[in-house]
Structure 1
Amino acid sequence: KRKIQRYVRKDGKCNVHHGNVRETYRYLTDIFTTLVDLKWRFNLLIFVMVYTVTWLFFGMIWWLIAYVRGDMDHIGDSTWTPCVSNLNGFVSAFLFSIETETTIGYGYRVITDKCPEGIILLLVQSVLGSIVNAFMVGCMFVKISQPKKRAETLVFSTNAVISMRDGKLCLMFRVGDLRNSHIVEASIRAKLIKSKQTKEGEFIPLNQTDINVGYYTGDDRLFLVSPLIISHEINQQSPFWEISKAQLPKEELEIVVILEGMVEATG
């Protein structure tokens, strides 16, 4: 049997590779979507790196403030008021940065009111820390809540069939949901992917044609509680009208079925 490379694989992933992308900066202009689209291992690596870098950055600034003010030269001096009490090196400055940004507040290292630059830095780190938290936690939440795994419990029939139904020749396939939580506002549509040559001689290798599965009658909107048979009538408006039974095995075409809806449990 001749094997044709698929445009969309059985697991729903498009068999398309984007190459020779010159304007890669466009990915950075939409950094949130770029991070969400990354694989989990890169997401977790960036998550750890962002927090570590911010803690190290502000820890360095806290240490520089203490160093410039001369706090390092008066460690243990009860007559000296440091910017941050009990800050005696970069490690303690790094720990204070973590405690400040994560609002842990152990109480051992405390900023004093004799250090205006420290108060300003505290405000800046608190605000920027909240922004980093909102961005990174939001990114992880969207990543976790993506319904990719939900599609694993939506089952399509292995084969589509062409047969008579109510006296009409129809292309039919079945779809079902294995979960008890249903897909809300479910709708289905289908595309025929096939090469085409226009009257002007232009060759379109991946031309997309709509396959009517009940758009005009409302049959494309599904109540997917039990398995349903999706039917497409092969009439004069159908893209299969001019394909005979003998020609069908020789045709290089692909049918892509798209099922859309909202997950009842998560929305």
Structure 2
Amino acid sequence: VDLKWRFNLLVFTMVYTITWLFFGFIWWLIAYIRGDLDHLEDENWIPCVENLSGFVSAFLFSIETETTIGYGHRVITEKCPEGIVLLLVQAILGSIVNAFMVGCMFVKISQPKKRAETLMFSNNAVISMRDEKLCLMFRVGDLRNSHIVEASIRAKLIKSKQTKEGEFIPLNQTDINVGFDTGDDRLFLVSPLIISHEINEKSPFWEMSRTQLEKEEFEIVVILEGMVEAT
């Protein structure tokens, strides 16, 4: 699914081709073992598959069987139990291959990678006064004309932590309030918006000085969720 399109199409083609070749070889092998290929001109001989004269025709019969084309020229006879079993196996495995490959292509098509590239975040976050409150702020915007509906945003502070018992947590996660209690975390991205986090007693930055912010090793992860307008 994560491969490039050309490799996805190559895998898609190769899987079907190998499946058809494999079952085509089995059909040819059955005809060869039963002696059908030695009685092509014998009208009294009942072959496993009528009008199967070699590997090429066995390969074509395999394609017709798995894709349910049904041209009618080549057809299995009731005097061939091994052929009936193989027909059932190919029909079942063919359905599984179809479901798997179509599912992979659907997931590949529906991946929102290109859509995600149009969501822009500011390169830098700033700490400044806003409405007489010290706030951490950054900007987010959507470049597409089709909007993202029911968008919501949340942020986490990820840094190492050592508990009072001496346990070291390398990736401790702390929620950063960007408006959950006021509803400001639910966005309508018709234009770039400034996301603000008030640095108060409940903020993970409350006890950090400017020097600590410059030296501290941490990461702020911002998560924007929503649905594409077309869906």
Check whether TM > 0.5.
yes
Partner of 1:231: 196
Partner of 1:135: helix, strand, or coil? Answer: helix
Deviates further, 66-75 or 114-123 = 114-123
* Alpha-carbon distance, 1:153 to partner: 0.3
Q: Give the structure 2 partner of residue 81 of structure 1.
A: 46
Size of the alignment, in residue pairs? 231
The 2-side partners of 1:53 and 1:86 are apart by 23
2:60 counterpart (69, 92, 95): 95
TM-score if structure 1 supplies the norm length? Answer: 0.78
Counterpart position of 1:57:
22
Q: How does 1:123-162 map to 2 (within 5 A)?
A: 123-162=88-127
Give the aligned CA root-mean-square deviation in angstroms: 2.1
The alpha-carbon deviation at position 76 of structure 1 amounts to 2.5
Q: Distance in 2 between matches of 1:139 and 1:209?
A: 36
Q: In 2, distance between residues paired with 1:245 and 1:142?
A: 46
Shift of 1:45: 5.0
**Normalising by the residue count of structure 2, what TM-score does the alignment of the two structures yield?**
0.89
**SS, match of residue 210 in structure 2:** coil
Name the structure 2 match of 1:67: 32
Unaligned runs of 5+ in 1: 1-35
User: Aligned-pair distance for 1:116?
Assistant: 4.2
Counterpart for residue 164 of structure 1: 129
3-state secondary structure, aligned to 2:64: helix
Letter in 1 for 2:80: C
Report the Cα distance in structure 2 between the residues aligned to 1:127 and 1:196, rounded to whole angstroms. 54
Give the corresponding residue for 1:194: 159
The one-letter amino acid of 1:91's match is: V
Q: How does 1:174-185 map to 2 (within 5 A)?
A: 174-185=139-150
Larger radius of gyration: 2
Aligned-residue identity in percent: 87
Matched letter for residue 208 of structure 2: I
Does 1:118 pair with 2:83?
yes
Deviations 1:104-141 (A, max 9, x none): 33444333344344334323322321221011111121
Cα separation, 1, equivalents of 2:151 and 2:140: 12
Task: Supply the distance in 1 between the matched residues of 2:84 and 2:215 (Cα, whole angstroms).
Answer: 76
Matched residues in 2 for 1:157 and 1:198: separation?
Answer: 33
Task: Show structure 1 runs of 4+ deviating over 6 A.
Answer: none
